[in-house]
Amino acid sequence: GENVEQHPSTLSVQEGDSAVIKCTYSDSASNYFPWYKQELGKRPQLIIDIRSNVGEKKDQRIAVTLNKTAKHFSLHITETQPEDSAVYFCAARGLYGNKLVFGAGTILRVKS
Partner 1 sequence: DADVTQTPRNRITKTGKRIMLECSQTKGHDRMYWYRQDPGLGLRLIYYSFDVKDINKGEISDGYSVSRQAQAKFSLSLESAIPNQTALYFCATSDLHGTGDPGELFFGEGSRLTVL
Rounded least distance, CB 109 to partner 1, Å? 15
Residue 49 engages partner 1 in binding (rule: CB under 8 A): yes
Residue 88 engages partner 1 in binding (rule: CB under 8 A): no
Which member of 36, 66, 77, 86 binds partner 1 (CB under 8 A)? Answer: 36
71, 28 contact by CB (below 8 A): yes
How many residues in total does the chain contain?
112
Residue 43 engages partner 1 in binding (rule: CB under 8 A): yes
15, 110 contact by CB (below 8 A): yes
Residue 81 engages partner 1 in binding (rule: CB under 8 A): no
Rounded least distance, CB 84 to partner 1, Å? 19
- Of the candidates 86, 90, 78, 79, the one whose C-alpha atom is nearest the C-alpha of residue 109 is 86
Which member of 39, 55, 79, 99 binds partner 1 (CB under 8 A)? Answer: 99
Give CA angle at 82 (37, 10), nearest 5°: 55
